[in-house]
Amino acid sequence: MGGITPKEARRLSWVFRLNRWRWAAGTLPASELFYLEVFDRAVARSGVAVPPLYPVGSAANAGLLYTVFRLADEFPGLNWLELGAGQSTILIDALVESGRIGAALTLEHDGDWAGRIGARVRHEVRTAPLRRGDVLGVTADVYDFASDRRYDVVVVDGPVGTPRRSRWGALKLLETALADEFVVLFDDAERPGERETIARFLALQPAAGHVFIHAMKSQCLVFSEKYRGLASY
């Protein structure tokens, strides 16, 4: 069945309410600066050669950069699949080069943007056009991509979000490309459309744990038992 149940919606509705009041109190900008400081210090101490990154506007925010870096640093050698190219792609590439990520593939539906980001990194940034398809009873945009391997980590940060069931097509890809032991990192988890998709994935993975990270934007990490340490992020 498509969509989410009222119970599933209630599970994540607190994210919107919390963020609304944190914006009013000014704590979200403070959290962003905190995660930026943690990220900068971790990179400096690690010796990883990270090119300049600009976590502003619609780009990957400090919370996402922190999460990607910490995950790769604490669980090295995993294979990553990224949906949507951008600032996080540049960071992931630096982590591949440092040996903290085993292999990485980035999918991007916009050919021009894929070429622009791909020219700055060494791992593959593949143009994967979007097609309309049925995903759990809902017609959604799905990357035209057939995975020939299973990925330990999938970053859901594309395509462009929608007000309802945002990036819903990722659920189809996760069904075929995700390893038995996994981490899925959903970006933009403060948005209602993304929360619907996260709730559906949690319903499909009832044994999985999850944790939210809140700064100027929010992320949701969903993880299997092997990666239960992520609950402390």
Residue 61 tokens read as 């925010």
Is 36 a domain residue? yes
Residue predicted with more confidence, 215 or 11: 215
Name the pLDDT band for 1 (thresholds 50, 70, 90): very low
User: Distances in Å between the alpha carbon of 217 and those of 73, 80, 83?
Assistant: 22, 22, 17
Q: What mean pLDDT do residues 106-116 have?
A: 98
Number of Cα atoms under 13 Å in the Cβ half of residue 178: 23
Helical (H) or strand (E) element with 175: helix 170-177
pLDDT interval class at 11 (50, 70, 90) = low
Q: Global pTM?
A: 0.89
Separation of alpha carbons 127 and 149, rounded Å: 18
Could you report the per-residue pLDDT of 17-32, keeping only the tens digit for each?
555 555 444 556 789 9
User: In sequence order, what DSSP letters do the residues of 198-210 get, joined into one string?
Assistant: HHHHHHH-TT-EE
Range of the domain at 175: 6-232
CATH code of the domain covering residue 24:
3.40.50.150
The verdict on residue 207 lying in a domain is: yes
Rounded-to-integer distance, Cα 122 and Cα 195, Å: 32
CA distance 121 to 186: 22
Nearest to 104 by CA among 129, 85, 78, 84: 78
Instruction: Please indicate whether residue 10 or residue 220 has the higher confidence score (pLDDT).
Output: 220
User: What confidence category does residue 227 fall into, taking pLDDT thresholds of 50, 70 and 90?
Assistant: very high
In a domain, 1, yes or no: no
214 inside domain: yes
**What percentage of the chain exceeds 90 in pLDDT?**
83
Total structural domains within the chain = 1
pLDDT at 29: 78
The residue type at 113: W
Summarize the confidence of residues 150-171 as an average pLDDT.
97
Cα gap 181→173, rounded to integer Å: 16
pLDDT category at 52 given cuts 50, 70, 90 is very high
Instruction: Quote the CA–CA distance of 165 and 196 in Å, as a whole number.
Output: 5
Averaged confidence pLDDT in the chain:
91
Tokens found for residue 68? 């990607």
